[in-house]
């Protein structure tokens, strides 16, 4: 039977897109068009990752330099501990008693960042309480965070930041406030706290009289009573941020006379006239943020021109549709005050507030970093303003990037990208993290189809964003690592940016980061490698950087509960496995076992799909390495893939069928697939995919084609009902499906019983249509060969004793079908005839003339077909057939199989010699009554045999 030796390699895929629909935790899978990682927070753990390319020999320290770590001074060890996250600190502390004691130094426990732990339990927090007596700053995430904060028993806390806590209630927030009366800063969000009411705000005011900063997101019905309580109880309150509040009484803030900063970004229902009038009376007010609101030009103008707030320096009004529709203000500055809007130069405005050299244009592009590194004496007020601006701008830009409103393309291209990159230079880790996340998100312009805007991505690249993100990814802070890796991953969908990432050493950095013990970091890094592995030019670099081993290790590291990591790692390995050299690296690194483990045990459809695709690509290099056989030998591999063809997810079925198709080229694999129920499963798949995607149709037919190489399997496919769906697939609009369906029917038609089933199932009109109309020469060729098999006389005897009782009518029907088939076989062969060339060559057998005929008749893809001895024998027998059309078809087929340069031409030439074909071909070439095409093609085949015989003797 015939097999197609050119394997199907699944194309690179990047199905990483996730959209955050409700702040940080809401995650939903989207279309698989580009490798996009959206903002997400899942359960994770902490680890530090030092990410850098390996040092060159010039950079490496001399071998004689040996550090005796045990002799380091205590203060040096403590300084080293301060640079580590808490897991790495605990690991280092376990080395000896002295270091364990130093790890408990109070200075190391003044700040605790547990944002990477979404589900930290109160019991776990209680175990840390012994070291938290001096704790002053705490960051937590997740619904259990408030209980964990109480369990730490850190009564001296000055700052609490809680993220992703949508389920927070009044009671929980009141308990936190009551247990931490010394709080100066309370921040909850940016996910909306829609279960928190003004009662909890009043409780916070009563308990925490030292409160100086209050940032809440999404609080409902924030009334004047709650704000009055803050004014009465918190006399030092200098900053309030009420973000995305559905209802907010803005004028009531006038009672909080100590306020220096106000942000109502995203708030709704504010009466702007009274609010602006009230805020103008705040004597200490330094800056106001009204971004993403319906603020009017009149309200902004009043704030900018007010003399009652002499210290006011900035008004932030980013993405305010009403203000923008009104044309903004005539001037973006007034009395030394700066208005920051989408129609002003935001970075220049920020620079004007600081004392750095504004004449230097570089300072205008990076004001936060320049101010932070400025050698001049710091101005506390300017420092406070810049820190506040960084916080509110990063928040608003991230929210805008999430919602991706229309009409901001020009803003993003002209200054939005540069602004986000500048915010990455802030001294505040939260700002750095949000800025990186904003970059990851704003380049995505269509969540449903997962499209990355090339102009936005390249704007980031032109601003030096790739280098900045790679530097940020090397931070010791895992939250920053995660978001920087996410941004790099999304940007790398763009080929130009991906090239820059590689040139800047990003592949080495990501490969190193893939070893992180933090699942969030590992997931985003795997996504970055997945996207980079799409480019053929990057595959070798990923392998050289150790990326293949790192990706395989990720699968073993997160076998349970890490579906995001597993899908991305498997997707990257699938892309890498499409390269012959890299496929061997995958196998050597244990990738076959890892991927089979996923196919067998993982229940996540995305992981199953990518694991199956990776196995398909590993098996696609059977001529150059042993991976095809190795996959088949892996315990449970073939059974798992057969089972995946029954998945409810179309992508899983498609990739599993593709893997079985490639694996079927190995004889042992093919029979093991059939023994494991593969025939039944693939026939069932073909029966249900007539309305499915073309990719699934192609692979389902291709897998049946691969199995039908064995005549026993071919008979089983016919018996199981595989003929009818293949005929249906032959009517597809896709050329690729034409080829695989025609190839499968060609193999099936070798058996007379199947040939009759094809005729009875209406296969002749379908094959005739392919033979005459398909845009694929290969499909037309194989359809013609299938028709030739069916009507070379071997089916006649089966037809006489067939299952039908219609007798003579059946014979009449067969005769009509045969006439139709022969007519179109002849027409197909004639399409390769050039009358002028044939007339010149008819009287000559000159090598040059025969070579010209062969070149005109050649079907390039036919060189990938490999025929068995039985099939070659059948073609030789067909040369003797009474039908001149079948004789011409037979020698035309042998020409394709023996033409010089064909992958299996030598194999076919040897089979022809064993079958004594030379004598039959000479007779055909000399026959006076033979059609000219049969004579000329026979001469070409004889020339081919002589060429291969001479070549084999050398």
pLDDT at 7 over 60: no
Q: Report the range of poorest mean pLDDT among 352-366, 615-629, 673-687.
A: 352-366
Tokens (6 digits) for 823: 């007519």
How far apart, in Å, are the Cα atoms of 156 and each of 129, 133, 134, 178?
12, 7, 7, 12
Q: Please report the pLDDT score of residue 50 as a whole number.
A: 37
Q: What pLDDT digit, counting tens, does each position of 435-451 carry? A: 999 999 999 887 666 78
Q: Please report the pLDDT score of residue 853 as a whole number.
A: 85
Site of tokens 């995430």: 141
How is residue 413 annotated by DSSP?
I
pLDDT at 134 over 50: yes
pLDDT at 156 over 80: yes
Q: Please report the pLDDT score of residue 60 as a whole number.
A: 42
Kindly report the backbone phi and psi dihedral angles of residue 437, in degrees, each rounded to the nearest multiple of 5, phi listed first: -65, -40
Q: Which of 523, 400, 450 is nearest to 29 (CA)?
A: 450
Most distant CA pair in the chain, distance: 115
pLDDT at 814 over 60: yes
Tokens (6 digits) for 726: 């293949």
Q: What pLDDT digit, counting tens, does each position of 54-68 carry? A: 444 444 444 445 667
Q: What pLDDT digit, counting tens, does each position of 192-241 carry? A: 888 899 999 999 999 999 999 999 999 988 888 999 999 999 999 999 99
Instruction: Using CA atoms of 797, 801, 805, 806 in order, give the dihedral in degrees to the nearest 10.
Output: 10
Q: Please report the pLDDT score of residue 833 as a whole number.
A: 82
Burial of 403 (0-12, 13-18, 19+ CB in 10 A): exposed
Q: Please report the pLDDT score of residue 357 as a whole number.
A: 56
Interacting residues of 262 by C-beta distance below 8 A, sequence separation 6+: 239, 240, 241, 253, 279, 282, 285, 287, 288, 289
pLDDT at 534 over 90: yes
Q: At 5, is the pLDDT very low, low, confident or very high (cuts 50, 70, 90)? A: very low
Max mean pLDDT among 154-158, 329-333, 350-354 falls in 154-158
Q: At 803, is the pLDDT very low, low, confident or very high (cuts 50, 70, 90)? A: very low
Q: At 39, is the pLDDT very low, low, confident or very high (cuts 50, 70, 90)? A: very low
Distance CA 258, CA 248 (A): 19
Buried/exposed code over 251-266 (b: 16+ C-beta within 10 A; e: otherwise): bbbbbbebbbbbbbbb
CA 4 centroid distance within chain = 30
Q: Please report the pLDDT score of residue 106 as a whole number.
A: 86
What 3 state SS string does 272-325 have?
HHHHHHHHCCCCCCCEEECCCCCCCHHHHHHHHHCCCCCCCCEEECCCCHHHHH
Distance CA 757, CA 749 (A): 9
Q: What pLDDT digit, counting tens, does each position of 742-759 carry? A: 999 999 999 999 999 999
Q: Is the dihedral of CA 918, 919, 925, 930 positive or negative?
A: negative
CA-based angle 152:154:159, to the nearest 5? 110
Half-sphere exposure of 820 (CA within 13 A, CB side): 18
Mean pLDDT over residues 239-254, rounded? 90
Distance CA 888, CA 621 (A): 35
Q: Please report the pLDDT score of residue 458 as a whole number.
A: 96
Mean pLDDT over residues 472-489, rounded? 93
Q: Which of 930, 928, 925 is nearest to 946 (CA)?
A: 925
Q: What pLDDT digit, counting tens, does each position of 644-670 carry? A: 999 999 999 999 999 999 999 999 999
Compute the residue count for the chain.
954
Q: Please report the pLDDT score of residue 356 as a whole number.
A: 60
pLDDT at 806 over 60: no
Beta 333-334 vs 337-340: how paired, if at all?
antiparallel
Distance CA 350, CA 371 (A): 10
Mean pLDDT over residues 332-343, rounded? 80
pLDDT at 33 over 50: no
Q: Please report the pLDDT score of residue 40 as a whole number.
A: 33
Q: What pLDDT digit, counting tens, does each position of 563-590 carry? A: 899 999 999 999 999 999 999 999 999 9
Q: At 837, is the pLDDT very low, low, confident or very high (cuts 50, 70, 90)? A: low
pLDDT at 763 over 90: yes
pLDDT at 818 over 90: yes
pLDDT at 804 over 50: no
Average pLDDT score, the chain: 86
Strand, coil or helix: 112:
strand
Q: Which of 833, 832, 831, 758 is nearest to 788 (CA)?
A: 758
pLDDT at 36 over 60: no
Distance CA 761, CA 780 (A): 20
Mean pLDDT over residues 378-402, rounded? 92
pLDDT at 47 over 70: no
Top pLDDT among 569 and 811 is at 569
Q: Report the range of poorest mean pLDDT among 83-97, 128-142, 164-178, 567-581.
A: 83-97
Mean pLDDT over residues 613-628, rounded? 91
pLDDT at 34 over 70: no
Q: At 954, is the pLDDT very low, low, confident or very high (cuts 50, 70, 90)? A: low
Q: At 557, is the pLDDT very low, low, confident or very high (cuts 50, 70, 90)? A: very high
pLDDT at 379 over 90: no
Q: What pLDDT digit, counting tens, does each position of 909-939 carry? A: 999 999 999 999 999 988 888 788 888 899 9
Q: Which parts of 64-104 are beta strand (E)?
A: none
Instruction: Using CA atoms of 190, 191, 197, 198 in order, give the dihedral in degrees to the nearest 10.
Output: 10
Q: Please report the pLDDT score of residue 839 as a whole number.
A: 63
Q: Please report the pLDDT score of residue 545 as a whole number.
A: 97
Q: At 81, is the pLDDT very low, low, confident or very high (cuts 50, 70, 90)? A: confident
Distance CA 239, CA 868 (A): 82
Q: Please report the pLDDT score of residue 222 as a whole number.
A: 87
**Total Cβ atoms within 10 A of residue 346:** 27
Q: Which of 542, 446, 526 is nearest to 485 (CA)?
A: 526
Q: Please report the pLDDT score of residue 363 as a whole number.
A: 58
- Rounded percentage of the chain residues whose pLDDT exceeds 70: 87
Tokens (6 digits) for 81: 């501990």
Q: What pLDDT digit, counting tens, does each position of 88-128 carry? A: 777 888 888 888 888 888 888 898 887 766 567 777 778 78
């Amino acid at each position: 039977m015939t097999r197609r030796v050119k394997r199907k390699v699944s194309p690179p895929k990047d199905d990483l897109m996730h959209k955050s629909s409700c702040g940080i935790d809401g995650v939903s899978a989207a279309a698989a068009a580009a490798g996009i990682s959206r903002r997400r927070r899942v359960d994770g753990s902490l680890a530090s990752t030092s990410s850098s390319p390996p040092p060159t020999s010039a950079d490496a320290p001399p071998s004689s330099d040996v550090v005796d770590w045990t002799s380091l001074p205590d203060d040096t060890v403590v300084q080293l501990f301060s640079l580590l996250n808490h897991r790495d600190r605990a690991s280092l502390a376990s080395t000896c008693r002295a270091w364990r004691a130093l790890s408990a130094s109070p200075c190391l426990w003044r700040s605790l960042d547990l944002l990477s732990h979404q589900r930290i339990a109160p019991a776990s927090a209680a175990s840390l309480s012994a070291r938290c007596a001096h704790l002053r700053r705490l960051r937590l995430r997740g619904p259990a965070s408030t209980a964990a904060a109480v369990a730490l028993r850190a009564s001296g806390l000055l700052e609490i930041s809680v993220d992703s806590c949508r389920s927070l209630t009044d009671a929980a927030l009141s308990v936190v406030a009551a247990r931490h009366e010394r709080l100066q800063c309370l921040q909850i969000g940016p996910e909306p706290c829609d279960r928190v009411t003004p009662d909890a705000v009043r409780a916070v005011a009563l308990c925490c009289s030292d409160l100086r900063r209050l940032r809440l997101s999404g609080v409902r019905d924030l009334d004047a009573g709650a704000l009055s309580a803050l004014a009465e109880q918190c006399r030092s309150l200098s900053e309030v941020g009420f973000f995305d509040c559905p209802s907010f009484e803005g004028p009531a803030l006038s009672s909080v006379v100590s306020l220096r900063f106000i942000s109502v970004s995203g708030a709704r229902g504010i009466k702007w006239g009274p609010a602006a009038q009230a805020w103008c009376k705040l004597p200490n007010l330094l800056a106001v943020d009204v971004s993403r609101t319906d603020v009017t030009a009149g309200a902004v103008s009043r704030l900018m021109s007010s003399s009652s707030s002499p210290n006011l320096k900035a008004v932030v009004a980013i993405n305010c549709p009403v203000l923008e529709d009104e044309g903004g203000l005539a001037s973006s500055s007034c009395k030394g005050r700066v208005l920051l809007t989408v129609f002003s130069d935001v970075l220049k405005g920020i620079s004007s507030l600081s004392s750095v050299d504004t004449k230097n244009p570089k300072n205008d592009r990076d004001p936060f970093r320049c101010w932070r590194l400025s050698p001049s004496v710091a101005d506390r007020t300017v420092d406070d303003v810049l820190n506040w601006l960084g916080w509110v701008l990063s928040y608003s830009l991230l929210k805008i990037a999430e919602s991706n409103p229309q009409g901001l393309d020009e803003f993003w291209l002209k200054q939005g990208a540069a602004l986000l990159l500048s915010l990455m230079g802030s001294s505040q880790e939260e700002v750095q993290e949000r800025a990186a996340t904003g970059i990851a998100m704003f380049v995505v312009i269509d969540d449903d189809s997962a499209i990355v805007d090339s102009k936005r991505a390249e704007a980031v690249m032109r601003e030096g964003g790739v280098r900045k993100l790679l530097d940020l990814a090397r931070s010791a802070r895992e939250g920053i690592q995660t978001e920087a890796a996410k941004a790099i991953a999304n940007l790398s969908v763009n080929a130009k940016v991906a090239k820059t990432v590689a040139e800047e050493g990003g592949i080495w950095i990501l490969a190193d980061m893939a070893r992180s013990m933090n699942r969030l970091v590992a997931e985003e890094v795997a996504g970055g490698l997945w996207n980079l592995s799409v480019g053929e030019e990057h595959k070798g670099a990923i392998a050289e950087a150790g990326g293949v081993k790192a990706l395989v290790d990720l699968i073993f590291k997160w076998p349970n509960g890490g579906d995001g990591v597993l899908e991305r790692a498997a997707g990257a390995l699938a892309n890498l496995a499409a390269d012959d050299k890299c496929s061997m690296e995958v196998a050597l690194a244990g990738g076959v076992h890892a991927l089979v483990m996923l196919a067998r045990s993982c229940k996540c459809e995305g992981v199953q799909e990518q694991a199956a695709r990776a196995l398909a690509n590993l098996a696609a290099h059977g001529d150059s390495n042993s991976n095809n056989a190795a996959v088949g030998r892996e315990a449970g591999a073939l059974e798992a893939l057969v089972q995946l063809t029954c998945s409810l997810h179309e992508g899983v079925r498609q990739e599993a069928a593709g893997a079985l198709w490639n694996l079927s080229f190995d004889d042992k694999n093919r029979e093991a697939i059939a023994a494991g129920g593969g025939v039944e499963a693939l026939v069932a798949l073909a029966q249900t995919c007539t309305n499915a995607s073309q990719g699934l149709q192609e692979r389902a037919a291709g897998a049946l084609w691969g199995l039908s190489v064995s005549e026993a399997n071919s008979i089983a496919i016919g018996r199981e009902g595989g003929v009818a769906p293949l005929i249906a697939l032959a009517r597809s609009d896709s050329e690729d499906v034409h080829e695989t369906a025609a190839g499968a029917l060609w193999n099936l038609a070798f058996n007379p019983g199947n040939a009759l089933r094809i005729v009875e199932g209406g296969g002749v009109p379908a094959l005739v249509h392919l033979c005459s109309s398909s845009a694929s020469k290969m499909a037309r060729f194989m359809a013609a060969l299938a028709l030739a098999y069916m009507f070379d006389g071997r089916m006649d005897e089966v037809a006489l004793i067939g299952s039908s009782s219609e007798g003579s009518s059946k014979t009449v029907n067969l005769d009509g079908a045969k006439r139709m088939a022969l007519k179109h076989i002849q027409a197909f062969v004639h399409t390769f005839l050039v009358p002028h060339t044939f007339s010149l060559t008819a009287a000559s057998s000159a090598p040059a003339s025969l070579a010209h005929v062969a070149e005109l008749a050649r079907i390039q893809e036919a060189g990938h077909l490999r025929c068995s001895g039985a099939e070659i024998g059948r073609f030789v027998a067909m040369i003797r057939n009474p039908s001149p059309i079948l004789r011409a078809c037979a020698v035309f087929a042998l020409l394709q199989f023996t033409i010089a340069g064909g992958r299996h031409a030598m194999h076919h030439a040897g089979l022809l010699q064993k079958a004594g074909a030379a004598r039959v071909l000479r007779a055909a070439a000399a026959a006076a009554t033979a059609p000219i095409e049969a004579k000329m093609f026979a001469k070409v085949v004889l020339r081919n045999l002589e060429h291969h015989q001479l070549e084999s003797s050398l």
